[in-house]
Amino acid sequence: MSLCDLAPHHVRGIAPYQPGKPIAELAREMGIAEDEIVKLASNENPLGTSPRVLAAIENVFLELARYPDGSGFDLKAALAERLKVGQEQIVLGNGSNDVLEMVARAFLTSGSSAVYSQYAFAVYPLAVQGVGARGIEVPAKDYGHDLMAMLEAIEDDTRIVFLANPNNPTGTFLPPAEVKSFIEEVPREVLVVLDEAYYEYLPRELQGDSVGWIAHHPNLIVVRTFSKAYGLAGLRVGYGATSAEVADMLNRVRQPFNVNSLAQAAAMEAMEDEAFLEHCLDINEAGMDQLTEGFKRLGVEYIPSHGNFVCCRVGNATAMYRSLLRQGVIVRPVANYGMPEHLRVSVGLESENAKFLQALEHALNKS
Ligand SMILES: *Cc1c(COP(=O)(O)O)cnc(C)c1O
C-alpha cells in the first residue's frame, strides 16, 4: 500500500496549484544571470515594496522572538476605520488565499457544494476540493463570469458562490451594479465570496462600495489583499470584510497567529502611503497601454483586462512559453485553466514590458 492511499479520495484528486516559475530556478536551469531575467508571472508589484513600509518594519525586526498579535488588533482597527465597518467584521489572513481557505473550512463539508465560474481563480476549486465538497463550475461568457448562469447553478446544498472581480487570470470585470443585483438575487443562506484582489487597480468610478453592501447582505464576504497593488506578496497578508456572524465563524478555523508581525506592521504602513500606491497605479496604466499596443502591433489577440496583468492569445502557448523562458522572460501559462492558447503576462516596468514584447516578437517570428 502506498502512503498516498491514506489520504482521502478528495485530497488525492487535487491538482496542485502551479505558481509562477521563480527567477532563481530559471537562472539555474538556463544559466542566465538572475538580473537579466524578467519575471512577469505572478502579478507582483514591479515597483517592489514602498520605502516607507521597509523603514516601518525595521522596528519589528527587534521583536521577532515574540509571537505576533494573534488578534491583529491594530491592523483590524485601521482597516475597520478605512472601510467603515466594525473591527469584529474583519478577518485577517496569511494572504487573502488564507481567507478563501477559511471560508471553505468553516462553511463546506463533503455533503455541500460551491459555485464558481470557468476560468475563475484556481484557488476556489482547490479550497473546495480540499474539504471534500463539490465544486460546480459554470461556463464563462466571453471569458468572464456569467452571473445569470451562476445564479441558476446554485443548488440546495450550495453554501458558497465565489466571484473574482476583476478575475484572475482573464482580467475580466463586472460593473458594481451588476454584482450588486447578483448579490440581491442570491439566497440569503448562501455565502457570496467577492474576491477583489485587484480592487485598487480599478479607476475610482469602477470601484463599487462592496463593503458597504454587507450591511444589507450579511452573507457577503469581500476579500482583498496587500499582495498586489501594495507590493507585499512575500509577507502574506490579506483580509475579509463581512458580517460579525460570518467573521466569528471564520475566526474559529483561523490559525491563532496566521498573520506574522512584519506583515501586520507593513500592511498598516502600506495603507498610509498613498503616494506610493498612486505611483504604482500610474505605472500599471502606462504599462498596460504599452503591452496592449505591443499586442496590436504584433497582431496578437488579448483579453482586455482590469488588473495588473493581461492574457494574450499566442497559439501554441507551451512552445511560446518555453521560447520566452530561453530568452529570460517568465510569464504564466494558463493551460491549467483550460486556456491552452493563452499566456498571462503581468504588467512590469517599461523596460520589462519592452523586453517581453521583444522576446514575444522573436518567438512569433520563429514559430
Ligand atoms: C493573487 C490573488 C489572490 C491571493 O493573493 P494573496 O497573495 O493570497 O493575498 C486572491 N485572489 C485573486 C483573484 C488573486 O489573483
C-beta of 230 in contact with ligand 1 (< 6 A): no
Residues 165, 264: one domain? yes
Say how far apart CA 347 and CA 344 lie, in whole Å: 10
> How much is the pLDDT for 19?
84
Which domain covers residue 126, as residue numbers?
Answer: 62-272
CATH number at 247 reads 3.40.640.10
Residues 72, 164: one domain? yes
Pick the residue whose CA is nearest to atom 14 on ligand 1.
197
DSSP label at residue 35 = G
Residues 124, 229: one domain? yes
Residues 163, 223: one domain? yes
* Residue ranges in the chain whose pLDDT is less than 70: none
C-beta of 290 in contact with ligand 1 (< 6 A): no
Mutational test site, ligand 1, from 121, 172, 309, max ligand atoms within 8 Å of CB: 121
Residue 253 domain-assigned (yes or no)? yes
Mutational test site, ligand 1, from 91, 96, 170, 221, max ligand atoms within 8 Å of CB: 96
Strand locations in 153-213 (E)? 158-164, 191-195
Calculate how far, in angstroms, residue 329's C-alpha sits from the geometric centre of ligand 1.
Answer: 22
> How much is the pLDDT for 366?
80
Give the count of domains, the chain. 2
Say how far apart CA 202 and CA 214 lie, in whole Å: 20
Say how far apart CA 350 and CA 205 lie, in whole Å: 26
> How much is the pLDDT for 319?
94
Residue 56 domain-assigned (yes or no)? no
The sheet carrying 90-93 orders its strands as 90-93, 238-241, 220-225, 191-195, 158-164, 113-117, 134-138
Residues 8, 153: one domain? no
C-beta of 95 in contact with ligand 1 (< 6 A): yes
End position of a domain, from candidates 248, 272, 296:
272
| Residue for grid cell 503576462 | 345
Mutational test site, ligand 1, from 44, 198, 228, 346, max ligand atoms within 8 Å of CB: 228
Residues 114, 162: one domain? yes
Residue 54 domain-assigned (yes or no)? no
Residues 256, 351: one domain? no
C-beta of 225 in contact with ligand 1 (< 6 A): yes
> How much is the pLDDT for 15?
84
> How much is the pLDDT for 325?
95
- Provide Rg for the chain, Cα atoms: 21
> Dihedral of CA 169/171/176/179: which sign?
negative
End position of a domain, from candidates 250, 272, 294:
272
CATH number at 336 reads 3.90.1150.10
> How much is the pLDDT for 299?
97
End position of a domain, from candidates 252, 272, 292:
272
Residues 234, 300: one domain? no
Calculate how far, in angstroms, residue 147's C-alpha sits from the geometric centre of ligand 1.
Answer: 21
Can you give the pTM of this predicted structure? Answer: 0.96
